[in-house]
Homo-oligomer: A and B are copies of this chain.
């Protein structure tokens, strides 16, 4: 009975895409809930409001970093699911675990924003990135194993896998710097992230 259920369960790639877009949309928007002015009695001057905004700087930086992280992973999953027009139960579950670590990013980002001077905070944030990479690799594996990608797109799956490995290697190297200096480590994560957003475009022009 179980096997039979699995044969017709979770086939619709559109549903997998729609749930994923929903989870990413909510996670991206919830990130910003961390950015709030302190409660005030009103009656501030421009100068006082300016200091409050400046104090939000680190949170804003953590927000920008995490938003582009979510953007990168969204684009990656968008690309992966674009290689197939079918799903199956295994890919659906692999994708659910990927989404699980999308939903935890607002939490780990807030840990980082509150304690940017602690190596443990960088470690927690990096662990979230690593689990996103691992579960995304799980999605690639399930897509390959389930024969969901047409013959002509197999190469793209391999390119995709190598790109995940490259990204995770760079994230891990940046995170390791936290043992020496957590702020440097965060800056390195931001530079790696900038590379993934900007550099590939330069490559395109070249």
Contacts and interface: CB of A to CB of B under 8 A. Distances in A.
B35 A107 contact: yes
Among A21, A110, A159, which residue has the most Cβ atoms of chain B within 10 A?
A21
Contacts of A111: 37, 49, 53
A94 to B, nearest CB: 10
Interface in A71-90: 71, 74-76, 78-79, 81-83, 89-90
Among A5, A25, A33, A42, which residue has the most Cβ atoms of chain B within 10 A?
A25
A28 B21 CA distance: 13
A36 interface: yes
Contacts of A9: 75-76, 78-79
Contact of A6 (B45, B49, B200): B200
Interface stretch (A97-105, A132-140, A169-177, A183-191): A97-105
A106 B32 contact: yes
A44 B120 CA distance: 11
A10 B78 contact: yes
Contacts of A76: 9
Given A3-B204, A5-B163, A23 B25 contact: yes
Nearest to A111: B37
A31 B21 CA distance: 17
A124 interface: yes
Interface of A: 1-6, 8-12, 14-15, 17-19, 21-33, 35-37, 40, 42, 44-46, 49-50, 53, 64, 67-68, 71, 74-76, 78-79, 81-83, 89-90, 92-93, 96, 99-100, 103-104, 106-107, 110-111, 114-115, 118-121, 124, 156, 159-160, 162-163, 197, 199-201, 203-204, 206
